[in-house]
Structure 1
Amino acid sequence: MDVRGGITLGDQVTLSNGCFIISHINVGFADHPLQKKYPTKEAPVMIKRGAYIGTGAILLPGVTIGAESVVGAGAVVTKNVPDHVVVVGVPARVFKKI
């Protein structure tokens, strides 16, 4: 977990082995040549009540995982996930409603 940008966990959230919650990304030190093209991004991650985050899933800065939603193993979440859905893939997409 990277808490620099903030992480909020609701009640009864499950975080499986090897998942990554990233609230801050940068390419290195402040004067790194890539810093202009890829500036630092810092934004809070929120995981709402009853959500399940699968093994090896990656949650990127600024995303919200909806209540009672499931993030499949190895999924990379780049956008908000609605309540009561299963998301899978790279990037994560809605697989089905639950």
Structure 2
Amino acid sequence: MIDASVAVSIGKRCLIGDSVVIQDSNYHEVEDGAGVKAKAVLIGDNVWIGRNSIILPGVEIGDHSVIGAGSVVTKSAPPRSLVAGNPARIIRELVAPQDYIRF
């Protein structure tokens, strides 16, 4: 599911698993007076997002990164990162030349 109230940008050659949720807004206040958080989500080129992952508002995922299945991504990830968990964290850096295409 991709739900965009501001913007969701998905780069070239990305793989997105089933039951993934990408949202650029939380659509409601968490606390009185806190306001609604809405900020664009930017997904780079050649990114793989594993099944059942959730990408939250304002997250940027760098080129050639992999998001492990079931991850809840609350913070941005630099290029060539393996990210996993709830909340997601960087596990390690990936080796991927600029012309690498994930199949």
Provide the TM-score with structure 1 as the length reference: 0.88
Distance 2:40 2:53 in 1: 17
- Deviations 1:43-91, CA, capped at 9 Å, x for gaps: 1000000001110110000000110000000101111011001001011
Q: Look up the match of 1:56.
A: 52
Give how far 1:97 is off. Answer: 1.1
Q: Which has the higher contact order (CA 8 A, sep 6+)?
A: 1
Distance 1:17 1:38 in 2: 32
Distance 1:69 1:53, change over 3 A: same
Distance 2:40 2:75 in 1: 13
Give how far 1:36 is off. Answer: 2.2
Distance 1:39 1:11, change over 3 A: same
> Aligned ranges for residues 65-80 of structure 1 at < 5 Å?
65-80=61-76
1:85 maps to which of 77, 81, 87: 81
Contact kept, 8 Å, 1:76 with 1:91, in 2: the verdict is yes
In structure 2, runs of 5+ residues without a counterpart are 95-103
State the number of aligned residues: 93
Give how far 1:38 is off. Answer: 4.3
- RMSD, aligned CA: 1.5
